[in-house]
């Protein structure tokens, strides 16, 4: 895996200047995108999930999935000790097997960024921070920018922002776009930007497609399904739709954007299904942690258990992995 991330994207490229000029032009563009066939989308996602993975390929997929995890703790009860402990797991997921890859990033609240940064110092593990009034995204822009700036000043390598779903659902696309653009500018070259849509609140697949394009127009380095704080989070179908969006965006603009499904992905079997989606939809260029991530915590434990089973032919006892 690469040890450094690609440079953060610019925002609102010149070929889209007319599209982003006003709310009316954004509406015309977003509502002019091809409509989504829900039945067809879900059938394709389901069919790809049935692909069988052979032993050698499975070993590769398990290690790849581990390397793509944003190991996450986003609880009001988070402590310095918990973050340091999770950082240790990010650096050495399996203390008994140093061949196990490190995770991509450790994701925490802004006030825990400095602790996380110190704990992973000298490694390739990045520190990601949620920001912009996570998880609701309902705050004045000045507050969102201060949230972002504080996280970056504390050492965050990546910012996971949330869009204002109320504004989006009301059709105020310009407000959402301008906030993404402002956070993109606040990140500058210091941090990559992940834009969270909270797909479970967007109601339709058409809205998820529109949000994907809106995030990319605003300069997102990644588009992300969800906060993990609502009932419906990442699904194969909504992730497939977002993968189609980044694929099509690169064809049109030449710029590559990553995808991060988050919430509800708990087993190695599920993770492998998502990797198949990536390979079959966007292609091999997205099969690295520079362009695809899993927002997860408990997923890592099952990946480690399956990895050990593949190596030894048996499962370890319940104390083989740590409880996050």
CA distances from 41 to 139, 202, 287 (A): 34, 16, 21
Q: How far apart are CA 37 and CA 205, in angstroms?
A: 8
pLDDT at 41: 97
pLDDT at 74: 95
Catalytic residue of the set 94, 160, 164, 221: 160
pLDDT at 10: 73
Whether 144 is a known active-site residue: answer no
* Cα pseudo-dihedral 151, 126, 223, 76, rounded to 10: -50
Dihedral sign for Cα atoms in the order 304, 228, 292, 130: negative
pLDDT at 322: 62
Contacts with 81 (C-beta within 8 Å, 6 or more apart), sequence order: none
Q: How far apart are CA 29 and CA 19, in angstroms?
A: 6
Catalytic residue of the set 89, 144, 194, 224: 224
Pairing mode, if any, of strands 158-162 and 192-196?
parallel
Q: How far apart are CA 88 and CA 108, in angstroms?
A: 14
pLDDT at 317: 59
CB 174 within 8 A of CB 146: no
CATH superfamily name and code, 14-312 = Aldolase class I (3.20.20.70)
Whether 285 is a known active-site residue: answer no
Catalytic residue of the set 260, 270, 290, 302: 260
CB 131 within 8 A of CB 148: yes
How long, in residues, is the chain? 324
Whether 260 is a known active-site residue: answer yes
Q: Which of 321, 240, 322 is nearest to 286 (CA)?
A: 240
Strands (DSSP E) contained in 56-125 are 69-72, 105-108
pLDDT at 311: 84
Q: How far apart are CA 261 and CA 244, in angstroms?
A: 14
CA angle, 93 then 96 then 99, to 5°: 65
pLDDT at 54: 78
- From first to last of its 324 residues, the chain has per-residue pLDDT tens of 444 578 888 765 557 889 999 999 999 999 999 999 999 999 999 999 888 787 789 999 999 999 999 999 999 999 999 999 999 999 999 998 989 999 999 999 999 999 999 999 999 999 999 999 999 999 999 999 999 999 999 999 999 999 999 999 999 999 999 999 999 999 999 999 999 999 999 999 999 999 999 999 999 999 999 999 998 899 999 999 999 999 999 999 999 999 999 999 999 999 999 999 999 999 999 999 999 999 988 899 999 999 999 888 877 655 556 655
């Amino acid at each position: 895996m690469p040890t450094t991330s690609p440079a953060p994207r610019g925002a609102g490229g010149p070929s889209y200047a007319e599209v982003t000029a006003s709310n009316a032009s954004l509406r015309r563009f977003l509502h002019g995108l091809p409509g989504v066939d829900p039945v067809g989308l879900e059938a394709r996602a389901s069919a790809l999930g049935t692909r069988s993975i052979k032993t050698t390929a499975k070993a590769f997929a398990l290690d790849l999935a581990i390397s793509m995890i944003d190991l996450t703790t986003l609880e009001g009860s988070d402590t310095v000790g918990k973050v340091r402990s999770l950082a240790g797991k990010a650096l050495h997921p399996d203390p008994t097997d140093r061949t196990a890859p490190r995770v991509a990033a450790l994701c925490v609240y802004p006030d825990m960024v400095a602790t996380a940064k110190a704990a992973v110092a000298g490694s390739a593990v990045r520190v990601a921070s949620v920001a912009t009034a996570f998880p609701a995204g309902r705050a004045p822009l000045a507050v969102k920018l201060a949230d972002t700036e504080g996280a970056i000043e504390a050492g965050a390598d990546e910012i996971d922002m949330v869009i204002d779903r109320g504004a989006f659902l009301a059709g105020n696309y310009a407000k959402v776009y301008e906030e993404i653009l402002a956070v993109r500018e606040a990140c500058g070259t210091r941090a990559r930007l992940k834009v969270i849509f909270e797909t479970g609140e967007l109601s339709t697949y058409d809205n998820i497609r529109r949000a994907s394009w809106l995030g990319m127009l605003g300069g997102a380095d990644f588009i992300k399904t969800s906060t993990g704080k609502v009932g419906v989070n990442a699904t194969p179908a909504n992730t497939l739709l977002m993968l189609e969006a980044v694929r099509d965006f690169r064809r049109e603009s030449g710029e590559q954007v990553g995808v991060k499904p988050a919430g509800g992905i708990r087993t190695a079997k599920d993770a492998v299904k998502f990797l198949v989606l990536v390979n079959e939809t966007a292609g091999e260029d997205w099969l690295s942690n520079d362009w695809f991530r899993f927002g997860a915590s408990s997923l890592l434990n099952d990946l480690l258990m399956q990895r050990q089973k593949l190596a030894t032919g048996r499962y370890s006892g319940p104390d083989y992995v740590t409880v996050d």
